[in-house]
Amino acid sequence: MAPPHQQQPQRIFFAGGGTGGHLYPGLAIARAVVRLAPQVQPHFIGARRGIERDILPATAFPHTLLDLHPLYRSAPWNNWRTVVGAFSAWRAISALSAGARPRAVIGTGGYAAGVALAWGRAHGVPTMLHEPDSHPGLTTRAFAGGARALYLGFSEAAGRLKPGANTDVLPLGCPIEPPPVPPPSRREARAKWDLPEDAFVVLVTGGSQGARAINEAVAAWIDQGLPHGVCVLWSTGRQQAAAWLDRDSARVKVRPYLAPIADAYAAADIAIARAGAMSIAELCAWSIPALLVPLPTAAQDHQTYNARATASSGGAIHLPQPELTAARLDSEVRGLLTDPVRLADMRAAMQARARPDAAQAIARSILGLLDIPIAADSPYYQP
């Protein structure tokens, strides 16, 4: 096998974005692909109006941002923007491909992926899709039939898709940053937070922006008095931190954001969180039972489907936002605090769903389907 620098460059388009849930999996897969096969050259295609405009310039990957728009369901008269943007994006992708035809187009969901996948399909370029959620999005459903591979974050999504006869359907999980090996010990993690080793630690997180409904319920729960022995690690979100920092105490650690989050995960007995696919994937990787509060306004209510699927497996409790009160939180936490057998079963159920090496597994599959060899000097090479 030729050394990586002597091998023919292999270009792959990654298309997706709009939100972090559609962009970050693509970045994780691309990084894993390059670690395995340095001759691969990922190129990201996204929307000028999506999160990718802020994230992609800070990465090492070349990228092209196009005038892409979603379907305006509540304001259909604006869909002319979607049509015009699609035509201009098609021309831009054709021009981008003129110098070096891609080996594949990999869509990671969202409106930013559709045109690139359609272009690939029309030009005979293999297409592959990653769907993070239990309820597949419109883009995944539209392109599943002709895809070479469907990579699923939730195995439950397979029942809602119509793959083609030659489509590989692989529930390999959501690409995340896996726990370190070995992970931080509970004692070490709690010492860093200045928490008792024998405390029952509840991690509260609504993501980088926070979740106001969760924050308000948690604040009310703290104000009424936490159960004996319970401590809280509370990530409020950067924009909301000022309203809740006065609750910080020996038993309640209030932070705008947790980065890195490893010591919080290592210290936690349970989590209260939104039901985004990436959040659930991380909780599974760390074997943390969860009270999942889906975002009611999520597209196609996909977080509710994620929460239901995880709860059905036994690893979580689905707690709809209208039912989220201080009294309900107190009841659920006390129930788990006093039932170690149930808590252990939930932890085992979350561990059973864990796919911490999803990015590498997906990357290996992509390279195998494209017949691109893994570099012999890659730390992940397996002869």
Q: What domains are defined for the chain? A: 4-175+357-369 (3.40.50.2000), 186-353 (3.40.50.2000)
pLDDT in tens, 291-323: 999 999 888 899 999 999 999 999 999 999 999
Would the pLDDT of 116 be above 90?
Answer: yes
pLDDT in tens, 181-190: 888 899 999 9
Would the pLDDT of 345 be above 70?
Answer: yes
Cβ(43)–Cβ(63) under 8 Å?
yes
- Report the pLDDT value the prediction gives residue 21, as an integer from 0 to 100: 81
Mean pLDDT confidence for 247-265: 92
Mean pLDDT confidence for 325-337: 97
pLDDT bracket for residue 49 (50, 70, 90): confident
Residues in the chain, how many?
383
**H-assigned helices in 47-183:** 52-55, 79-98, 114-122, 138-143
pLDDT bracket for residue 1 (50, 70, 90): very low
* Amino acid at position 31, single letter: R
The full DSSP string for 160-227 is G----TT-EEE-------PPPSSPPPHHHHHHHTT--TT-EEEEEE--TT--HHHHHHHHHHHHH-PP
Q: Which residue has the tokens 């491909």?
A: 97
Q: Which range has the top average pLDDT, 15-24, 41-50, 245-254?
A: 245-254
Would the pLDDT of 142 be above 50?
Answer: yes
Mean model confidence pLDDT for the chain: 91
Q: Which residue in 242, 230, 315 sits closest to 275, CA to CA?
A: 315
Mean pLDDT confidence for 241-247: 90
Cα 151 to Cα 31, 80, 161, distances in angstroms? 16, 32, 12
Would the pLDDT of 377 be above 90?
Answer: no
DSSP state of 131: E
pLDDT bracket for residue 17 (50, 70, 90): confident
